[in-house]
A and B are shown apart, each in its own frame.
Chain A
């Protein structure tokens, strides 16, 4: 059996999916590919079902928000693991904040169910086809997505802090525009 390496997996993906693989790099030796949203489920299914690569485990699925990254503000990141080959890789999908529909990965891994519920809860990403897309961690009546950067991380019911000493004004939290350039895509 051929050995599975970063280069071999990337070559296979590029050969099979062509333009759908936008960009790839290897931070800390881990293959990371940026792919198109339309093909993500096809790519995941191929990686899972391919007899050589055998990515049989979805380690993690999470969202991310880069408000300064025009047109690609929101992202979903998949961590895959092949138990057979002891090989890990990462897939990233970015899309505009105005268009938050993502295809669900629950068709491939049931474990994606709760991860997608969490991602929906914190980033408002709508996983189309998810069997039960509800809030999972926070109070049931939470009416916003707290990890989107336009919302303050701090709680506005806090009373014992003097805002001047904590880099915020009017008790509205640290404003994201005060730190331009901090949230950029790496190596792009």
Chain B
């Protein structure tokens, strides 16, 4: 337990007594990375695993996620956990559209990622049919460790993302391909 790191190192820059000179995007990235507010969209058993992930044993608060946001307008990270029926698809999309940029999406579990065992007329075959997804967590359901790994990957995305990305042509083309305004 001797090498536990509670805080990651500060961004690379010119350091001296009481000051640090670095570039803006590194600072913003660090701030975003460590203050993600997740919106849990839990529909089935993966949601139970998420509750365990939130609880004291696994303690998601370590990652700056003490507060879950139950309003999409205040959330940075949409966590979709569980089977999404086709009837739920437009609602999920509506939630995503209400989130402000920058926003990330994590699909937790086989159902959210691909439809899982529900290869059926009533189930959406993966949420990436209706909204763009940043990280997929496989498993049926995944253990809390796997969910945490997915969240750490989202953190890496948030830390390293260019501040201009959301205004870029590639990102606009991605949203256009989902017909999201």
A interface residues with partner B (beta carbon < 8 Å): 137-139, 146, 151-155, 157-161, 166
Contact = CB atoms under 8 A, between A and B. Distances in A.
A170 to B, nearest CB: 15
**Main secondary structure on chain A at its contact with chain B?**
loop
Interface in B88-134: 114-115, 119-123, 125-126, 129
A159 B121 contact: no
B91 to A, nearest CB: 11
A157 B129 CA distance: 9
A139 B119 contact: no
A158 B123 CA distance: 10
A48 to B, nearest CB: 34
Of A137, A139, A161, chain B has the most CB atoms within 10 Å of the CB of: A139
B115 A155 contact: yes
Interface of B: 86-87, 114-115, 119-123, 125-126, 129
Contacts of B121: 138, 146, 151-155
Contacts of B122: 137-138, 146
B120 A157 contact: no
Contact of B86 (A139, A151, A158, A160): A139
Nearest to A160: B114
A178 to B, nearest CB: 17
Of B120, B121, B125, chain A has the most CB atoms within 10 Å of the CB of: B121
A155 B125 contact: yes
A138 B129 contact: no
A96 B126 CA distance: 38
Nearest to A147: B121
B120 A159 contact: no
